[in-house]
Amino acid sequence: MKVTFPHMGHMWICLSAMLEYLGVEVVVPPPSSKRTLTLGARHAPEFACLPLKLNLGNFMEASELGADTILMAGGCGPCRFGYYAQVEHAILEDLGYKYRLVVMEPPQKHVGELLSKIKYITGHSSWWEVVRGIRFGYQKARMVDELERQANYLRPREIHRGSTDKAFKRALQEIIAAKHPRDLPQAGERVRKIMAQVVIKPRPVLRVGIVGEIFTLLEPFANYDLERRLGYLGVETDRSIYLSEWINDHLFLGLVRGLRSRKEACQAAPPYLNHFVGGHGQETVGSTVMYAKQGYDGVIQLLPFTCMPEIVAHSVLPRLSTELGIPTLTITVDEQSGEAGLVTRLEAFIDLLARKKGVV
């Protein structure tokens, strides 16, 4: 069995660590690219959202490397993601690909089914080893998230342009290279030393929160590397969802204490949005409220074209923006999006925020 999965930011690092620790052969697809998107968009339904098209492209590229089993998350509620695994598998079968499909459904709905799927993937590993493997992958997710937070803080303050990104790449390699849980403390120490070498200058910077649908938030190819671009425009960013937070909320059911939770965002959403609308729509609204109360200078909402939950959230943001005095910008992405247009909109938005704050 050669297992593959779709890309979503740096998720592949923690998934590979977990599966390889358990003796599963992993085929990581090439990083998402224009070729990936072209392959996926060519065979996907026209009005499917960008994540489905990129997932499809990932699976087609992974097949060229020998993958024969797809590991995919399931879902429930109004978001179409819940049946994407089955749709993608059906499309791949029609195209002649011979993939086995393993869908991990949310544990609060199908815990018995989830356990049987884990056992199917991990084979003869004991449950104790499975728990250790999951913990190993999760520890890597925490380390990568912390590294990303550090980079988002340093980038707008760095003296030598690009020094944060160079350090980030080196630090990321240290995390990837750790093949056993016992290697992680030393890897963490090396990561801290590498990032401490970035020379920064204290200066006033803008702070912008990024909210929206999780795939477009986490996948740099889908969002045109938004956090890095904003960093170079002198903006410190914070994302409303990090991978380790999502895992804790949806797979561990909040077992890990001290992490930011979706519950806080959902509780902050009323009176602007009083109920679940699927995906991360309610969290988008609640997180925008929280960023406004924390004194952020603006909020950017990211969503794939035709994403219903985020369209609902988008309809609420103008009123919220007016009443709480926080400027918002909504960016919709699909295979027709253009980099130049995005850059122009970002520069105009940041210019307005800078003038409002008086840091021009």
Could you report the per-residue pLDDT of 191-227, keeping only the tens digit for each?
999 999 999 998 899 999 999 999 999 999 999 999 9
> What is the signed CA dihedral for 189, 29, 19, 249, rounded to 10 degrees?
70
Q: Which DSSP helix (H) or strand (E) runs through 299?
A: strand 298-304
Quote the percentage of the chain above a pLDDT of 90.
79
Neighbouring CB atoms inside 10 A of 65's CB total 12
CA diameter of the chain? 62
- Residue range 119-140, pLDDT digits in tens: 888 887 888 999 899 999 999 9
Going from N- to C-terminal start, the domains of the chain cover 3-125, 136-203, 205-359
What percent of the chain has a predicted confidence (pLDDT) above 70? 98
Beta carbons of 270 and 320 less than 8 angstroms apart: no
Using the structure block, give the residue that is written with the tokens 């160079």: 166
Please identify, in words, the CATH class of the domain defined by 205-359. Answer: alpha beta
Q: Under CATH, to which class is 3-125 assigned? A: alpha beta
Closest CA to 319 of 264, 269, 280: 269
Report the pLDDT value the prediction gives residue 121, as an integer from 0 to 100. 86
The pLDDT confidence band at residue 82, using thresholds 50, 70 and 90, is confident
Question: Within 10 Å of residue 114's Cβ, how many Cβ atoms?
Answer: 18
One fold for 3-125 and 205-359: yes
Q: How far apart are CA 305 and CA 322, in angstroms?
A: 25
Angle between helices 243-250 and 127-154 (to 10 degrees): 140
